Amino acid sequence: MTKLNLTADEVLSTTRAVRKRLNFDRPVEDTLLRECLEIALQAPSGSNSQGWQFMLVTDREKISAIAEYYRQAFATYEASEAQPMKQHLDDPGMATTQARVLNSAQFLAANLHRAPAVLIPCMQGRPDTPGLPAGIIAGMYGSIIPATWSFMLAARERGLGTCWTTLHLNYEQEVAQLLSIPEGYTQVALIPIAYTQGTQFSPAPRKSLEDCLHLNSWQTSSAE
């Protein structure tokens, strides 16, 4: 399988949330998806529990049904004044980038049904179980998220684009029924997968490290 031969730093700094540059017309080989998932299984797992499960969906009718739930959830999300993508719009340094992100999110919502494949990572257990300690919940997510990110990094190296989305979770039970996901498992995300249009991606605009690093005390910034 052809790889881009990126360095580790290049993969880590250029694995973008790809939406508009997903090539919906090019099929993705099952063998390639399985290869990326084999790499995902090498991710660290809390207490070596390996409680992850990966629901890979390539059936066109099921993807279309999931996409309809996603569109409904996105419409509600977009209408909310509190939605995160409306943050920074009053910041001249961030407004252009944030408006572009919102536009690409709208594009994905309108075209998700065209994705050749979607991945729904699931974890064993329910974090909404009453009385479950915060440490246990963190450990549950601390296994499935690294594994899924490893999948996305492996996909990037192989010319595939991905995007971490969670809006379908508004309809988690409906999607679980559609895909026969058993009770006791939690869906964590919905990852559309497709070859990218072009393979060159650059590091994204980000706030400086000084804005988010604290040394030894929250009140002490790294610049002090």
Condensed to tens digits (0 to 9), the pLDDT of residues 156-192 reads: 999 999 999 999 999 999 999 999 999 999 999 999 9
For residue 210, being part of any structural domain is answered with: no
For residue 205, being part of any structural domain is answered with: no
Closest CA to 62 of 70, 52, 54, 53: 70
- Degrees to nearest 5, angle at CA 89 with 106 and 93: 115
- For residue 217, give the 3-state DSSP assignment: coil
For residue 206, being part of any structural domain is answered with: no
Q: Which segments of 163-207 are extended strands (E)?
A: 185-187, 191-196
For residue 209, being part of any structural domain is answered with: no
pLDDT in tens, 90-139: 666 666 777 888 899 999 999 999 999 999 999 999 999 999 999 999 99
For residue 107, being part of any structural domain is answered with: yes
Instruction: Give dist(CA 156, CA 100) in Å, integer.
Output: 21
For residue 55, being part of any structural domain is answered with: yes
For residue 208, being part of any structural domain is answered with: no
Instruction: Give dist(CA 165, CA 153) in Å, integer.
Output: 16
Q: Which two tokens stand for residue 100?
A: 């572009």
Q: Read off the DSSP letter of residue 41.
A: T
pTM of the model: 0.90
Provide the domain count of the chain.
Answer: 1
Instruction: Give dist(CA 165, CA 190) in Å, integer.
Output: 5
CATH number of the domain enclosing 168: 3.40.109.10
For residue 212, being part of any structural domain is answered with: no
- Its domain, for residue 126, covers 8-200
- For residue 52, give the 3-state DSSP assignment: strand
Instruction: Give dist(CA 193, CA 197) in Å, integer.
Output: 12
